Amino acid sequence: MPEHEPQKPEEVLAERLNTLLDVVAAEGGHRYTFPDIKKAVEDRGLHISRQRWHYMRAGTGPMTPDTDLLEALADFFGVPAAFLTNADAETPARVAAQLDLLRAMREAEVKSFAARSLTSDLSPELLLEIRNIIDETLTKQKREDRPAS
């Protein structure tokens, strides 16, 4: 299996910004909008345009060299600045925990959906077999998602 090309720094930043936005929403907060981001940045005496925010979230523009802006965004999201400024930075524990929770919730949704969709027409034996296949697939996916030690 050929290895994929490493992500560009602007793609890593986009992935991390979008992850932070998802984590905040998963923690029960409201989904941040551009005006929320703009206000937080302006409170630090900096500026961000809607277009620049879009490019940063999409990973399609050049990597921003503005470390002050990245530090302001990191403070806003409550993560170490290195998470946004250093492509090799570790995922903060809070973010990793929320991502694990989101994965578990998705798994539960898959199982619940399968159970609701299939229970009316299938035998109990076949339902157990399907559940086992889902469990095995999810377990395999978890192993593949873990970083190599």
Supply the pLDDT for residue 23: 76
More confident residue, 81 or 25: 81
More confident residue, 138 or 77: 77
Write the CB contacts of 18 (distance below 8 Å, at least 6 apart in sequence). 57
Q: What is the dihedral of CA 94, 96, 102, 105, to 10 degrees?
A: -100
Would you place residue 97 in the very low, low, confident or very high pLDDT band (cuts 50, 70, 90)?
low
Would you place residue 66 in the very low, low, confident or very high pLDDT band (cuts 50, 70, 90)?
confident
Supply the pLDDT for residue 12: 83
Supply the pLDDT for residue 30: 75
Would you place residue 52 in the very low, low, confident or very high pLDDT band (cuts 50, 70, 90)?
very high
Would you place residue 56 in the very low, low, confident or very high pLDDT band (cuts 50, 70, 90)?
very high
More confident residue, 108 or 19: 19
Amino acid at 11: E
27 backbone dihedrals φ, ψ, rounded to 5° = -75, 5
Supply the pLDDT for residue 83: 81
Report d(CA 79, CA 20) in Å as an integer: 9
